[in-house]
């Protein structure tokens, strides 16, 4: 094949907020009607805080119909084809297109007041129902990730994993922050990991949430947020690694998305250093006996990192990160994403690297991880994928 098979590790989709009503369990529709205007107001406030209105209005100008690919099948196919992308992993959307699921069941799945667990579950399920339909419109191309606020209730979470599997979704998105609830090393979550392992569902962490309460409103808050947000995205990995989750569930797959990948080498060095028998750790007694491998070995086997809008530097670090642990992503339809400049950005990142390595990072790793049908997807890539010759100077 003279073209690359490209899969994006990081795309977003969600309905305009009022349209979620039909996907909601009827008993929550009264609550929905009350909550909707509040949600829209809150989303606008957040958008104002995180996105300077003028810049984004400017960016969106003339792109409105293509941006409606955030929920519209035809527009989305047009955008992805134009970007050379055959397949995609789909997360919920957020403040940019104002299309968040109801009741705080957004990308961050917060656990703090005023979130009501039962309602957040209802909102998550409304989104999952719609997403399952949306993915069925192009089942070979779309790996949908179900919202799963698992911290509230393990039994509900297991049910949702099963429902998502039955309905063609490929993984679950779990909160990256746990507030006062138990963190991810707690053995109570084992049934969720077991279900995901048994059903081949990928567990997903996506960046975005961070302790905004620490940042205040003043000068510097945005710089602090964007400096810390990646750490908070992969923080659960630290808990899962040391908690022995990948020891007990050796086939569990964990995806960490849009947290960059530059942290990986130093992070694994540190954890391996801590794991080894050093003077530092000697005084702390045996805290590694439940782990048969080094942290970096679990990482290598169980984890994939979604490098959204991957800059050249991350491609240059591919051996340190792990050539099989790194996956490019476009982050459509977000303004910080590669679209509508995907082709030149992709070339800048991968130019003159070995073909088999580009193949892995642009799509091969994701195909394996999420179970895309590479032959079916290959037929699409043969038409829309970027030419391999474009990556040779």
Residues that bind a second copy (CB under 8 A): 50-52, 55-56, 59, 178, 182-183, 185-187, 214-216, 218-224, 226-228, 230-231, 235, 238-239, 241-244, 260, 262-263, 265-266, 269-271, 274-275, 279-288, 290, 309, 335-337
Q: CA 177: distance to chain centroid?
A: 14
Residue nearer to a second copy on the CB measure, 156 or 258: 258
Q: Which residue blocks in 137-220 are alpha helix, DSSP H?
A: 154-166, 190-199, 212-215
Q: What CA–CA distance (Å, rounded) separates 9 from 192?
A: 23
Q: Which residue blocks in 143-244 are alpha helix, DSSP H?
A: 154-166, 190-199, 212-215, 221-242
To 10 degrees, what angle do helices 264-275 and 295-302 make? 140
Stretch (H or E) spanning 54: helix 53-60
Q: In the complex, what is the shortest distance from the CB of residue 326 to a second copy, in angstroms, rounded to a whole number?
A: 16
Q: In the complex, what is the shortest distance from the CB of residue 202 to a second copy, in angstroms, rounded to a whole number?
A: 22
Both structure tokens of 243: 């908690």
Residue nearer to a second copy on the CB measure, 160 or 314: 314
Residue nearer to a second copy on the CB measure, 156 or 331: 331
Q: In the complex, what is the shortest distance from the CB of residue 346 to a second copy, in angstroms, rounded to a whole number?
A: 14
For the sheet containing 303-308, what is the strand order?
Answer: 7-13, 87-92, 142-147, 171-173, 202-206, 254-257, 303-308, 326-329
Rg over CA atoms, the chain: 20
Q: In the complex, what is the shortest distance from the CB of residue 301 to a second copy, in angstroms, rounded to a whole number?
A: 18
Stretch (H or E) spanning 247: helix 245-248
To 10 degrees, what angle do helices 53-60 and 29-50 make? 100
Distance spanning both ends of the chain, measured CA to CA: 19
Q: In the complex, what is the shortest distance from the CB of residue 191 to a second copy, in angstroms, rounded to a whole number?
A: 16
Strand partners, 329: 308
Residue nearer to a second copy on the CB measure, 129 or 177: 177
Strand partners, 256: 205, 305
Q: In the complex, what is the shortest distance from the CB of residue 387 to a second copy, in angstroms, rounded to a whole number?
A: 24
Q: In the complex, what is the shortest distance from the CB of residue 187 to a second copy, in angstroms, rounded to a whole number?
A: 7
Q: In the complex, what is the shortest distance from the CB of residue 312 to a second copy, in angstroms, rounded to a whole number?
A: 12
Quickly list DSSP for 10-53.
EEEE---GGGGGGGS-GGGHHHHHHHHHHHHHHHHHHHHHHS-H
Q: In the complex, what is the shortest distance from the CB of residue 235 to a second copy, in angstroms, rounded to a whole number?
A: 8
Residue nearer to a second copy on the CB measure, 266 or 383: 266
Q: In the complex, what is the shortest distance from the CB of residue 103 to a second copy, in angstroms, rounded to a whole number?
A: 25
Count other Cβ atoms within 10 Å, centred on residue 159. Answer: 15
Residue nearer to a second copy on the CB measure, 167 or 288: 288
Residue nearer to a second copy on the CB measure, 345 or 365: 345
Residue nearer to a second copy on the CB measure, 77 or 183: 183
Residue nearer to a second copy on the CB measure, 15 or 237: 237
Residue nearer to a second copy on the CB measure, 340 or 354: 340
Question: Assign residue 285 a region: left if phi > 0, alpha if psi is -120 to 50, beta otherwise?
Answer: left
- Burial label for 112, CB within 10 Å (0-12, 13-18, 19+), is exposed
């Amino acid at each position: 094949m003279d073209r690359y098979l490209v899969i994006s590790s990081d795309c977003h989709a969600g309905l305009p907020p009022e349209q979620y009503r039909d996907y909601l369990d009827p008993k929550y529709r009264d609550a929905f009607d009350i909550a909707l205007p509040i949600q829209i107001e809150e989303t606008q406030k957040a958008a104002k805080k995180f996105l300077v209105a003028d810049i984004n209005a400017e960016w969106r100008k003339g792109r409105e119909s293509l941006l409606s690919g955030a929920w519209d099948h035809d527009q989305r196919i047009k955008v992805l084809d134009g970007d050379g992308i055959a397949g995609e992993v789909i997360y919920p959307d957020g403040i940019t297109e104002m299309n968040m699921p109801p009741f705080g069941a957004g990308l961050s799945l917060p656990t703090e007041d005023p979130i009501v667990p039962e309602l957040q579950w209802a909102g998550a399920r409304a989104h999952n129902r719609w997403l399952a339909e949306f993915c069925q419109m192009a089942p070979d191309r779309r790996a949908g990730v179900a919202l799963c606020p698992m911290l509230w209730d393990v039994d509900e979470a297991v049910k949702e994993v099963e429902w998502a599997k039955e309905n063609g979704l490929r993984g679950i998105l779990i909160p990256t922050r746990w507030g006062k609830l138990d963190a991810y090393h707690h053995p109570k979550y084992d049934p969720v990991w077991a279900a995901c392992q048994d059903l081949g569902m990928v567990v997903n962490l996506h960046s975005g949430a961070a302790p905004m309460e620490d940042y205040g409103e003043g000068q510097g808050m945005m710089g602090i947020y964007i400096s810390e947000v990646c750490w908070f995205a992969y923080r659960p990995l630290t808990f899962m690694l040391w908690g022995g989750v990948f020891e007990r569930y050796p086939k569990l797959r964990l995806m960490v998305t849009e947290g960059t990948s530059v942290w990986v080498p130093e992070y694994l060095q540190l954890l391996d250093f801590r794991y080894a028998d050093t003077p530092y750790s000697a005084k702390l007694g045996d805290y590694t006996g439940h782990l048969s491998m080094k942290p970096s070995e679990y990482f290598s086997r169980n984890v994939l990192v979604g490098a959204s809008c991957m800059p050249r530097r991350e491609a240059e670090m591919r051996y340190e990160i792990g050539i099989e642990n790194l996956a490019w992503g476009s982050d459509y339809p977000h303004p910080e994403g590669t679209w509508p400049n995907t082709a030149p950005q992709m070339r800048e990142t991968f130019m003159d690297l070995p073909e088999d390595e580009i193949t892995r990072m642009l799509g091969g790793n994701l195909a394996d991880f999420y179970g895309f049908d590479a032959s079916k997807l290959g037929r699409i890539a043969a038409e829309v994928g970027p030419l391999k010759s474009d990556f040779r100077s």
